[in-house]
Chain A
Amino acid sequence: MTEAVAVQRNDTSPKRSDIILDVKGLKKFFPIQKGLLRRVVGYVKAVDDVSFFVREGETLGLVGESGCGKTTAGRTIIRLYEPTGGDVYFSSRVLGENGKPKMVNLAQMDKSQMKLIRQEISMVFQDPVNSLNPRMTVGDIVAEPMRIHGKYGVDSERVIISLLERVGLRPDHLRRYPHEFSGGQRQRIGIARALSLNPRLVICDEPVSALDVSIQAQTLNLLEDLQNDFNLAYIFVAHDLSVVQHISDRVAVMYVGKVAEMADSDELYNHPLHPYTEALMSAVPKPDPKYKSERIIMQGDVADPSNPPSGCYFHPRCRYAEAICKEKVPEFRELRPDHFVACHRAEELTLKGV
Chain B
Amino acid sequence: MVAKAGTRREVKAKQVSQSYLSLVWWKFKKNRVAVFGGIILILMYFCMCIIPEFIAPYDLEHSTNFPEARPQTIRFIDAQGKFSIQPFVYGLDKKIDEKLRKRVFVENTSVKYPISLFVKGDKYKLLGFIPGDIHLFGIRNAQKDQYVFIMGTDSLGRDFFSRIIFGGRLSLLIGLIGQVLTLLFGSVLGAVSGYYGGAVDMFVQRFTEFLSAFPDIPLFMALAAAIPKYWSPIAVYFMLTIILAFVRWGGLARQVRGLILSLREREYVLAAKSAGASDARLMFQHLLPGTVSHIIVIATLSIPGMILAETSLSWLGLGLRAPLTSWGVLLQEAGTVYAIRFTPWQLWTVIFILIAIMAYNMLGDGLRDAMDPYGGR
The chain A residues found within 8 Å of chain B, CB to CB, are 38, 75, 78, 80, 114-115, 118-119, 121-123, 125-127, 130-137, 144-145, 148-149, 171-172, 174-177, 179-180, 190, 193, 197
B45 to chain A, nearest CB (A): 28
Give A130 to B276 CA distance when docked, in angstroms.
19
B20 touches A177 (CB 8 A): yes
Chain A residues with CB below 8 A from B286, complex form: 133
Neighbouring B residues of A118 by C-beta, 8 Å:
274-276
A132, A148, A171, A174 interface centre (most CB from chain B within 10 Å): A148
- A175 CA / B7 CA spacing, docked (Å): 13
Q: What is the count of residue pairs linking A and B with beta-carbon distances less than 8 angstroms? A: 86
B270 touches A75 (CB 8 A): yes
Establish whether residues B267 and A148, one from each chain, have CB atoms under 8 Å apart when the complex forms.
no
Q: Complex Cα distance A130/B266, Å?
A: 6
Since A131-B267, A176-B17, A180-B17 are in contact, a sample of 11 more A-B pairs with Cβ atoms closer than 8 Å, ordered by chain A residue number, is A118-B276, A130-B267, A133-B290, A136-B285, A145-B275, A148-B276, A149-B275, A172-B13, A175-B13, A190-B271, A193-B275
Q: Are A135 and B270 interface neighbours, CB within 8 A? A: no
Task: For B274, give its contact among A78, A149, A174 (CB under 8 Å).
Answer: A78
Q: Which residues of B contact A130 (CB under 8 A)?
A: 266-268
CA distance A131 to B273 in the complex (A): 12
Q: With contacts A123-B271, A125-B271, A133-B286 known, is A172 near B277, CB below 8 A?
A: no
CB distance from A290 to the nearest CB of B (A): 42
Say whether B275 contacts A135, CB under 8 Å: no
Residues of B near A179 (CB, < 8 A) are 374
Residues in A with CB closer than 8 Å to B12 are 172
Pick the contact of A80: B10, B274, B285 (CB < 8 A).
Answer: B274
Which of A38, A80, A133, A135 interacts with B273 by CB under 8 Å?
A: A80
B19 at the interface (CB under 8 A from A): yes
How far does the alpha carbon of A149 sit from the alpha carbon of B277 in the complex, in Å? 8
Q: Say how far A117's CB is from chain B's closest CB, in angstroms.
A: 9
In the complex, which residues of chain B have a beta carbon less than 8 angstroms from the beta carbon of A180?
Answer: 16-18
B81 within 8 A of A: no
Within 8 A of A (CB), among B1-52: 9-10, 12-14, 16-20
Q: Binding site of B, secondary structure by majority: helix, strand, loop or mixed?
A: helix
* Cα separation A197 to B271 with both chains bound (whole Å): 13
Partner among A126, A132, A148 whose Cβ is within 8 Å of the Cβ of B268: A132
- Complex Cα gap A144–B271 (Å): 10
Shortest C-beta distance, B322 to chain A (Å), equals 48
Q: In the assembled complex, which residues on chain B have CB atoms less than 8 Å from the CB atom of A175?
A: 10, 13-14, 17
Q: Are B271 and A172 in contact (CB under 8 A)?
A: no
Question: Is B123 on the interface with A (CB-CB < 8 A)?
Answer: no
* Contact residues in A for B278 (Cβ distance below 8 Å): 148
Q: A131-B267, A176-B13 are in contact. Are A149 and B276 (CB under 8 A)?
A: yes
- Considering the complex of A and B, which 7 residue pairs feature the smallest CB-CB distances, nearest first? A131-B267, A118-B276, A145-B275, A115-B276, A125-B267, A133-B268, A130-B267
| Minimum distance in angstroms from B264 CB to a CB of chain A | 11
CA distance in complex: A66, B281 (Å): 32
A172 touches B9 (CB 8 A): yes
Task: For chain B, residues 276 to 319, give those with C-beta under 8 angstroms from any C-beta of chain A.
Answer: 276-278, 281, 285-286, 289-290
Which residue of the partner chain A has the closest CB to B273? A80
A30 to chain B, nearest CB (A): 13
How many angstroms between the C-alpha atoms of A130 and B10 in the bound complex? 27
- Please name all residues of chain B whose beta carbon is closer than 8 Å to the beta carbon of A132 when the two chains form the complex: 268
Known: A131-B267, A133-B286, A176-B13. A123 touches B274 (CB 8 A): yes
What are 13 inter-chain pairs, A to B, with CB distance below 8 A? A80-B270, A80-B274, A114-B276, A126-B267, A131-B266, A131-B268, A133-B289, A148-B276, A148-B277, A172-B13, A174-B13, A176-B17, A177-B20
In the bound complex, what is the Cα–Cα distance between A80 and B276 (angstroms)? 10
Separation of A123 and B271 alpha carbons in the complex (Å):
7
Say whether B180 faces chain A, with CB atoms less than 8 Å apart.
no
Q: Is the CB of A122 within 8 A of B17?
A: no
User: From residue A331, how far is it (CB to closest CB) to chain B in Å?
Assistant: 32
Chain A residues, Cβ within 8 Å of B285: 133, 136
B10 → A minimal CB distance (Å): 7
With CB as the reference atom, state the residue of chain B lying closest to A123: B274
A135 to B271, Cβ gap below 8 A? no
Contacts of B14 in A (CB 8 A): 175
Chain A residues near B266: list those with CB within 8 A: 130-131
